[in-house]
Amino acid sequence: MGIILVLGLVLRLIVANTLPLTNDEGSYLYDAYLLGRGHLPFLTSFSRAPALMIPLSLWLKVFGVSVFSGRLFMSLVSLGSAILLYFIGKEIFGRKLGLITLTLYALVSPVAIHSSYLLTEPLEIFYSLLGSLFLIKLVRNGRYWAALLSGLGFGLAMATRETAAIYPLFLGLFLLFQGRFNLSKTIKPLLTTGIIAILVWSSFWGLIALQVGLKHVVKNFEAILKMHDTGERLTFGFVMRRKLGEFWYLKIDYGLFYVLTTLFGVFAVIKRWYRDRRFRLLLALSLGPILFYGLYYKGIQPEYFSSFMPGFVLMSSYLICRLNLKLYGVILAGVLLIVVNGITFRHQLSHPRGGTFYLKPLENVVTWVKSNTAPNDQIFTAAVSIPLFADRALALDISRPVIFGYPHIEPDIKYALFPTPEEVVNYLTVNQVKYYIVEKATRDSFYTGHDGLKAYLMKNYEHLKTFDNPTNPIELWVRKQRS
């Protein structure tokens, strides 16, 4: 098991130093950096993941603020999920299933790559699997200490990403029906877990509300809901056509699991595995997130697929385990896994699905600025490049200006969370901020509907240098000298 985890870590470290940086990663790094310095990132940003920010800020204080440091944190979290999947597999069907599950989750390329991004999904998965493991133990053994750990896991998961509530809901309903609504064996344990989870989740946001005000927290949740409200009329057929198209688009990355999951379904019917209670428990644990994410999101970004992976891995592992492969079958399966993994790993590194800014151009920006500007020069920047300037004087604590680009979020919500364009202009004027770094995504979001800000920047700053970036050139502007 140790060798598998070491190999999994090596894969993730290769990825962590290679993949482009996303805007969300820059935001989370900056939020955690602010928190570590005693600021309140929830007051000056669009952060919705307190159960990510707190451990990440502690990590960054020890290992430094950098893209690699943040991704290393998530890589270790992902391997922690692999260990939890081992214990869940062992709890359901024995050590063999546990080892197969751990191996697939630690070594297959889609998991290794998407769980290396500094996003909420890897930590949400870890917390949810922690809650699921102890919920299964609770219902099976009636140990109420397990209710505490299960509720803690689910509460932390929801404080990382609210959609994690699907794990306890789906799994809890299944265990309730399996237990035939037995008061002492299912209803009381499930209620105890649910109450603890809600208390943990509400404690985070209650403390934040005491610091920044209840109104700010409410506006934060309103913005989250509005982000996914595109106004499209949804029908089941419309949703399924889009989902099937997205699954097909990612066929190279996830093709192995599509095949294994299909075979899993075929054998489940032919062999009548559905009669086995252990099979039904595994299915409940696997299908909840897949069905929810597949139907809830109108458009699935590549990183969302990482939320499907525990389910895909569990079902694929169960299939392999129940087929009772002989030695030659095990060798053949191992060779197939290595070949397919090598092809998909190479493809994903050369054609990354996520990320806006390649690391080398960002490093070039940092190197140039540190070499050519005075330490007290203020820099107006936003989003992804902020963490890389963490040791410099910053003009504004804005970590998520891209939110301005969401057309479905009303101005009163936006400006309860962020400075208005007028406030930005006033700050730049009063402080005579010297440098302005802009990326295309930032420029588009700031300028959308804000002609006054655009006019101010164009009038008072002049282009100094452009740093090449394959998808999003980074421009450095300097304040014009008064004649």
pLDDT at 285: 79
**What does the CA dihedral 215, 194, 24, 428 come to, rounded to 10 degrees?**
20
Give the chain's mean pLDDT.
Answer: 76
Question: What are the pLDDT digits (tens) for 261-315?
Answer: 777 778 788 878 777 777 888 887 777 776 766 666 555 566 667 777 888 888 8
> Is a pLDDT exceeding 70 seen at residue 56?
yes
Entry field: residues in the chain: 483
pLDDT at 306: 77
CB-side neighbour CA atoms (13 Å) of 318: 32
Q: Confidence band (pLDDT; 50, 70, 90) for 456?
A: confident
pLDDT at 47: 59
Q: Confidence band (pLDDT; 50, 70, 90) for 399?
A: very low
CA 257 to chain centre: 21
Residues 442 and 398 in one domain: yes
Residues 28 and 141 in one domain: yes
Residues 402 and 463 in one domain: yes
Residues 417 and 312 in one domain: no
Residues 323 and 250 in one domain: yes
Residues 48 and 133 in one domain: yes
Last residue of a domain, one of 328, 350, 372: 350
Per the structure, the complete domain to which residue 253 belongs is given by 2-350
> Is a pLDDT exceeding 70 seen at residue 417?
no
Q: 27: burial class by Cβ within 10 Å (0-12, 13-18, 19+)?
A: buried
Radius of gyration of the chain (CA): 24
Residues 61 and 93 in one domain: yes
In this prediction, residues 435-452 reach a mean pLDDT of: 68
**What pTM does this model have?**
0.85
> Is a pLDDT exceeding 70 seen at residue 241?
no
> Is a pLDDT exceeding 90 seen at residue 5?
yes
Residues 335 and 461 in one domain: no
Question: What are the pLDDT digits (tens) for 136-149?
Answer: 888 777 777 888 99
Of 106, 99, 36, nearest to 76 by C-alpha is 106
97 has which bridge partners?
A: none
Residues 311 and 186 in one domain: yes
Residues 401 and 326 in one domain: no
Residues 338 and 406 in one domain: no
Last residue of a domain, one of 350, 383, 400: 350
**CB neighbours (10 Å) of residue 373?**
16
> Is a pLDDT exceeding 70 seen at residue 65?
yes
Q: Confidence band (pLDDT; 50, 70, 90) for 152?
A: very high
Angle at the Cα of 285 from the Cα atoms of 279 and 289, rounded to 5 degrees = 140
Angle at the Cα of 143 from the Cα atoms of 141 and 145, rounded to 5 degrees = 150
Residues 66 and 111 in one domain: yes
Look at the chain and report how many structural domains it folds into: 2
Q: What is the percentage of the chain residues whose pLDDT exceeds 70?
A: 72
